[in-house]
Amino acid sequence: MAEPEWESLEQCLEKHLPPTDLREVKRLLYGKETRKLDLPSQALECAAEGDFELQGYAFEAAEEQLRGPRTVRVGLVQNRIPLPAEAPVAKQVSALHRRIEAIVEVAAMCGVNIICFQEAWTMPFAFCTREKLPWTEFAESAEDGPTTRFCQKPLAAAVSLSASESDCGRPCTEVVSHTGEEAQHGGGLPHPGAGRSARGRAVEHGRRHLQLRRRPGQDQEEPHPQSGRLQRATAFVFQSTYYMEGNLGHPVFQTQFGRIAVNICYGRHHPLNWFMYSVNGADIIFNPSATIGALSESMWPIEARNAAIANHCFTCAINRVGKEHFPHEFTSGDGKKAHKDFGYFYGSSYVAAPDSSRTPGLSRTRDGLLVAELNLNLCRQVNDVWNFKMTGRYDMYARELAEAVQPDYRPHIVRE
Amino acid sequence: MAEPEWESLEQCLEKHLPPTDLREVKRLLYGKETRKLDLPSQALECAAEGDFELQGYAFEAAEEQLRGPRTVRVGLVQNRIPLPAEAPVAKQVSALHRRIEAIVEVAAMCGVNIICFQEAWTMPFAFCTREKLPWTEFAESAEDGPTTRFCQKPLAAAVSLSASESDCGRPCTEVVSHTGEEAQHGGGLPHPGAGRSARGRAVEHGRRHLQLRRRPGQDQEEPHPQSGRLQRATAFVFQSTYYMEGNLGHPVFQTQFGRIAVNICYGRHHPLNWFMYSVNGADIIFNPSATIGALSESMWPIEARNAAIANHCFTCAINRVGKEHFPHEFTSGDGKKAHKDFGYFYGSSYVAAPDSSRTPGLSRTRDGLLVAELNLNLCRQVNDVWNFKMTGRYDMYARELAEAVQPDYRPHIVRE
């Protein structure tokens, strides 16, 4: 396996390949070239000072007669945990808030409209340990926990302040934030007995597929401190316990920037998750993840990208970075000795488009912000060329699948 | 777009990258390394003489206590049309039979158990022209047309003759052959009025998803000329007209080498096709295709590979090679001028495994045979690690999809 310090596929190819070959290799690997965004110098300076990578690309679409371009800028954030996993819980959360705030400020300078953080971004990815304490303490109230407040107020203000001066001229920002949610007894969670819940053994036990849950209380409107215009911070917090699957189906959220959905982490392995979000009209599907090299690095460039192609939509794949050390040894069910870290989270966040093009990945090793400008018109344009929505035999699949889930299903096998 | 003479991604990377970087790049792009097969020198010589590429790789699985390895060798054949598309129909078919026979003989030397040819291998890919004549004349009777006879007799004999001396020691061979099928009036085809049918406008009109159809008459048993053992040549011929979709669901064929299915060409774009074959138990899904660079080259490495990952099975993606010129100009609905060729078929056939590894691709430019030894135990082993079959919310998808195909379906959209 590549050592952590091996920076990225792109960097390696750019270093060694002659220009004509590089162009061909990139075309084969990444499809039609995405235009590099001209990002503000202030943003580039802040990223350098803050020691995180900043890249920007634009996906373009053909001009149409009746529709103007529908551009939206998304921001994908990948990061290490700034404090060791052994530090006090509150300090870790607060350090993560500060780190993300610095990155979000740069996103704001870049005119980002929708920003998405990595899976379980307010904590180490401690679920691999299968321990409960202190990890369950990272779960927060989705109504008014510190992270919900963080997403609603200072963060949204930072973004809208700068975004109003950006190219896009739209001061509002959507925040896609995935954290553990504190369950309330009798509060409507499917497993109220769980008390405070966090996520984790799901990877081992499957049946995660946590679904996005937006509580009404999280939509707040407040006057913009400078312009007086309305801003709206929408914090998405997920219903999530160790064992419970979601029961909300595949909802899509209509925002002012387009229809978005969130397919969390392991959910990316199931093409039918992406598909159902697409059936419900998603233009952009975010996939906040946490996954390591030994497990999944060669699948990473395939799954979200296939979903963008198959569903005529954009997908945003986000992975965390670095190695996280835990106080107690644990095993990973892979026949190897007990260890104190899960492995190396390889970053490599990217955006994929319906025309099978994609951005390069962020680094395998550094914190980073990937800004991508999407022209959502591309979704319908590609649909008009390839017609997957028209040609899908959905009635047949529905019938076959309904049969296949019956306990007495006999697979359709033709024997010699 | 890469010129036809640009041979392959692999060749370019091997030429320019230092060994350590090459190893990392290959790991990221192709996953766990596949072992190079030690192919017989006679086979390599014949391939060189016959001017086609020959490559061989093995996918390995962990040893188990209760099951021995379940190895099967598949052969993927990609080729140009040997005669111009303007040559007389019978001569073209016969030249293709001869070309394929030469390649199949080499496959036999390599111990191939299941061989699959490219989509519509007995003809130029003339459907892009939207003309009927003479292309519909390439359609054949699935009962006793020349290609069915070709697949059943000389070809099977050639394979079994040599295969009996190979590593595998199993003289029998399955042939996956896709051709146009001659419809018979009242013969049970869904569109009996079509008379003789060929395939083609389907790409433009969608709703292809032609399903595999095996007629009972095609299974023949006859004594092996030398060993006296039984051999069995199974010719798969597809029900296919210009416009009709298949009505056979997603059957899987139990062969002595494992359970196989065929997802034809455009069917690869629909994850649910692969999925339904997998639900019915397929170990290996073949995807005989015909597709050109401008249209699909950056999707090619993604789709079949994602299907292998998502469904814990092997997939075999086969594309034809070269440019085919037609007598009359036609347009492709892409805003470009009328032309006499569809574009450049880029070959690049490959096999993908459930653990997200894959073989390198065959050349973009040359006829070729890719031999891959699959240990089918890998399917269950990967399933046991990732558990996609266990964690799929199939009951939920079935319910959601059944709702979604209703004419009055209202997408699940949460509005602000």
Q: For residue B256, list chain A residues with Cβ-Cβ distance below 8 A.
A: 416
Q: Which of B298, B331, B403, B409 to probe by mutation at the A interface, max A CB count within 10 Å? A: B298
Spatial strand order in the sheet of B314-318: A413-415, B252-255, B258-262, B284-288, B314-318, B350-352
Residue in chain A lying closest to B304 (CA): A306
Residue in chain B lying closest to A402 (CA): B398
pLDDT number for residue A193 = 22
pLDDT number for residue A67 = 95
pLDDT number for residue B143 = 72
pLDDT number for residue B411 = 94
Residue A2, chain B, CB below 8 Å: the answer is yes
Query: What structural domains does chain A harbor?
Result: 32-328+340-380 (3.60.110.10)
Instruction: Give the one of A1, A31, A306 whose C-beta lies nearest to B303's C-beta.
Output: A306
Smallest Cα distance from B302 to chain A, Å: 6
Q: For residue A31, list chain B residues with Cβ-Cβ distance below 8 A.
A: 298-299
CA distances for B9 relative to A24, B359, B399, angstroms: 8, 12, 43
pLDDT number for residue B2 = 52
Residue B18, chain A, CB below 8 Å: the answer is yes
Flag if A411 and B280 touch (Cβ within 8 Å). yes
Interface of A with B in 207-266 (CB under 8 A): 207-209, 214, 219, 232, 234, 245, 249-256, 259, 266
**A238 has a pLDDT exceeding 80:** no
Q: For residue A386, list chain B residues with Cβ-Cβ distance below 8 A.
A: 269
CA distances for B211 relative to A162, B172, B214, B236, B300, angstroms: 55, 25, 10, 11, 21
Rg for chain A, CA atoms, rounded: 21
* DSSP string of B257-294, one letter each residue: TEEEEE--GGGGG-HHHHHHHHHTT-SEEEEE---BHH
Give pLDDT tens digits for B359-378: 999 999 999 999 999 999 99
**B160 has a pLDDT exceeding 50:** no
Cis peptide before B251 (omega within 30 of 0): no
Give one word for A347, left, alpha or beta, with left for phi > 0 and alpha for psi -120 to 50: left
Q: What angle do CA A270, A273, A277 make, to 5 degrees?
A: 155
Beta-carbon count within 10 A of A294 CB: 14
The residue ranking higher by pLDDT, A129 or A82, is A82
Q: What angle do CA B263, B267, B272 make, to 5 degrees?
A: 90
Please state which of the ranges A14-28, A82-96, A137-151, A268-282 shows the lowest mean pLDDT.
A137-151
What's the mean per-residue pLDDT of chain A?
81
Q: What angle do CA A351, A355, A356 make, to 5 degrees?
A: 60
Amino acid symbol at B116? C
CA separation for the pair A404, B364 (Å, rounded): 39
Identify each DSSP E strand in B331-405 by its residue range: 339-346, 350-352, 368-375
Flag if B310 and A271 touch (Cβ within 8 Å). yes
Query: In the structure, what pLDDT confidence band is assigned to residue B142 with cuts at 50, 70 and 90?
Result: confident
- Length of chain A as a residue count: 416
Residue B302, chain A, CB below 8 Å: the answer is yes
Do the bridges between strand B173-176 and strand B230-238 make them parallel or antiparallel, or are there none, so unpaired?
A: parallel
**B223 has a pLDDT exceeding 90:** no
Query: In the structure, what pLDDT confidence band is assigned to residue B15 with cuts at 50, 70 and 90?
Result: very high
Q: Residue B90 has which token pair?
A: 């019978």
CA separation for the pair A29, A7 (Å, rounded): 18
Say if the ipTM goes beyond 0.90. no
The residue ranking higher by pLDDT, A40 or A158, is A40
**Backbone phi and psi for residue B204, each to the nearest 5 degrees, phi listed first:** -75, -35
Flag if A270 and B310 touch (Cβ within 8 Å). yes
Instruction: Give the one of A299, A305, A400 whose C-beta lies nearest to B356's C-beta.
Output: A299
Instruction: Give the one of B21, B299, B402 whose C-beta lies nearest to A12's C-beta.
Output: B21
CB A324 within 8 A of CB A342: yes
Please state which of the ranges A122-131, A268-277, B360-369 shows the lowest mean pLDDT.
A122-131
Interface of B with A in 78-97 (CB under 8 A): none
Residue B6, chain A, CB below 8 Å: the answer is yes
Residue A115 pairs in a beta bridge with: A75, A175
- Length of chain B as a residue count: 416
Q: Residue A245 has which token pair?
A: 């699957």
DSSP state of B411: -
Residue A303, chain B, CB below 8 Å: the answer is yes
Residue A299, chain B, CB below 8 Å: the answer is yes
CA separation for the pair B194, B185 (Å, rounded): 8
Beta-carbon count within 10 A of B340 CB: 14
